């Protein structure tokens, strides 16, 4: 969906659908704009929506608007806290149309979103090789929203002062309403166009001709071979279920993802590479708090050589078990991915080192690390 529409849908769903019966607006276009900006400044979103034409019908999409609405309201609540404007000035009136200019100072939304993307996108790239589920997608959306609000609330948030020319049209009752266009959006979300530029998205969601590139083939992940499934280990009091150990091949990986994975794996990768994948669930069966370090090391054996892969080289770094603290009876899902040099078909043995457990407060008790080996020479 167009980014601008997704953001604006929230205020329109709340404001127009609940407030249109009040018949707000004004015979003077400057009064309409003043009423709208004052409502935003006061955080009265229902009233703000009544000054805008179109209502929800003009913004209907195939995306559930409820989540958009709640997130948008939260963002505007933060924006309204530092929202200032000077008295609107009439620029022109022609028939049923008018243009009104307002000088507005508010949070630089484009700058805040740029900071948000810089913080969360490395996680998105690392997460690209995990199996996508509704739960993981929801977790990433929640992270995106939380990070956005954090930057909007920041004490040193950047402010933007700009002059916005708002377009208005009379409705059938002769009342001026603000047209829902880019200028309307800019009056609330300063420099939103920066965000559209970041994604190469214009009003129609298309990439501009200047930056158009040849479409890249869709990335694929293929399971080369499965080494083990559903293996259970006791790291008292942590029960570990290794759900899958396998070799996988990634193809058609974008250059941007290649760069992020190369950084995390500490080795250069191209558009195709092989990796060892491990997924597991760890459950603390004790009421006490314990630390568990997950899969701490992998060693591959092939042709009389060994390839040692430490946990720090895991390029899948967006999973529950990144934090090894288990506070009481809880369980976490973990995934690791190691880019490998060896040809999977030549690997004769895989060694997993399952980390030990210890009490969080005293660093004693628990169980030492365990070494598990899978002999592939017989397969």
Q: What percent of the chain has pLDDT over 70?
A: 79
Local structure of 89: helix, strand or coil: strand
pTM beyond 0.75: the answer is no
What's the domain range around 109? 3-211
For the chain, the domain total comes to 2
Shared domain check, 202 and 315 = no
pLDDT of residue 83: 95
- Side-chain half-sphere CA neighbours of 337 within 13 A: 25
The rounded mean pLDDT for the chain is 82
Identify the domain boundary among 152, 187, 211: 211
Binning pLDDT at 50, 70 and 90, where does residue 238 land? Answer: very high
Binning pLDDT at 50, 70 and 90, where does residue 209 land? Answer: very low
Q: Give strand pairing partners of 358.
A: 291
Identify the domain boundary among 145, 177, 211: 211
Shared domain check, 92 and 186 = yes
Shared domain check, 77 and 134 = yes
Q: What is the pLDDT of residues 287-327, one digit of tens each?
A: 999 999 899 999 999 999 999 999 889 988 766 667 788 99
CATH of the domain at 310: 2.60.40.4170
Identify the domain boundary among 211, 239, 265: 211
Shared domain check, 8 and 31 = yes
Burial of 146 (0-12, 13-18, 19+ CB in 10 A): exposed
Q: Which of the residue ranges 11-15, 131-135, 163-167, 324-328 would you say has the lowest mean pLDDT? A: 11-15
Across 76-87, average pLDDT:
92
Tokens encoding 350: 């895989």
| Cα–Cα distances in angstroms (integers) from residue 202 to residues 143, 178, 180, 208, in the given order | 25, 21, 16, 7
Q: What is the pLDDT of residues 106-144, one digit of tens each?
A: 999 988 888 888 887 776 666 666 666 777 778 878 888
Shared domain check, 304 and 169 = no
Shared domain check, 230 and 204 = no
Give the chain's largest Cα–Cα span: 86
Shared domain check, 244 and 296 = yes
Across 72-79, average pLDDT:
86
Size of the chain in residues: 379
Q: What are phi and psi of 42, to 5 degrees?
A: -85, -5
Who wins on pLDDT, 216 or 20? Answer: 216
Local structure of 325: helix, strand or coil: strand
Across 51-77, average pLDDT:
62
Q: Which of the residue ranges 35-49, 114-128, 168-182, 233-247 would you say has the lowest mean pLDDT? A: 114-128
């Amino acid at each position: 969906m167009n980014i601008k529409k997704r953001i604006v849908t929230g205020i329109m769903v709340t404001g127009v659908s609940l407030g249109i019966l009040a018949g707000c607006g004004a015979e003077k276009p400057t009064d309409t704009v003043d009423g709208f900006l004052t409502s935003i400044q006061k955080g009265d979103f229902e009233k703000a929506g009544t000054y805008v034409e179109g209502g929800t019908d003009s913004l209907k999409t195939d995306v559930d608007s409820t989540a958009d609405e709640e997130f948008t309201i939260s963002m505007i609540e933060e924006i309204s806290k530092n929202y200032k404007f000077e008295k609107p000035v009439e620029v022109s009136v022609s028939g049923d149309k008018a243009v009104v200019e307002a000088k507005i100072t508010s949070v630089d939304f484009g700058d805040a979103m740029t900071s948000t993307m810089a913080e969360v996108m490395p996680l998105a790239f690392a997460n690209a090789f995990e199996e996508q589920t509704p739960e993981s997608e929801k977790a990433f959306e929640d992270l995106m929203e939380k990070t956005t609000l954090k930057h909007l609330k920041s004490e040193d948030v950047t402010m933007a002062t700009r002059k916005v020319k708002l377009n208005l049209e009379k409705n059938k009752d002769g009342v001026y309403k603000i047209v829902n266009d880019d200028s309307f959006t800019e009056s609330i979300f300063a420099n939103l166009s920066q965000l559209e530029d970041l994604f190469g998205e214009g009003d129609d969601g298309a990439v501009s001709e200047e930056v158009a590139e040849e479409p890249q083939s869709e990335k694929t992940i293929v399971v080369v071979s499965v080494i083990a499934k559903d293996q259970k280990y006791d790291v008292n009091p942590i029960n570990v279920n290794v759900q899958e150990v396998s070799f996988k091949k990634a193809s058609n990986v974008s250059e941007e993802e290649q760069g992020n994975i190369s950084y995390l794996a500490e080795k250069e990768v191209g558009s195709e590479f092989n990796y060892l994948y491990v997924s597991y669930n760890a459950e603390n069966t004790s009421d006490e708090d314990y630390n568990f370090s997950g899969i701490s090391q992998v060693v591959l054996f092939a042709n009389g050589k060994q390839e040692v892969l430490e946990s720090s080289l895991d390029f899948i770094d967006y999973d529950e078990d990144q934090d090894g603290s288990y506070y009481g009876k809880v369980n976490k899902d973990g995934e690791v991915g190691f880019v490998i040099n060896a040809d999977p078909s030549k690997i004769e043995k895989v060694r997993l080192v399952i980390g030990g457990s210890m009490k969080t407060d005293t660093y004693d008790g628990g169980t030492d690390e365990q070494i598990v080996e899978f002999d592939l020479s017989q397969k």
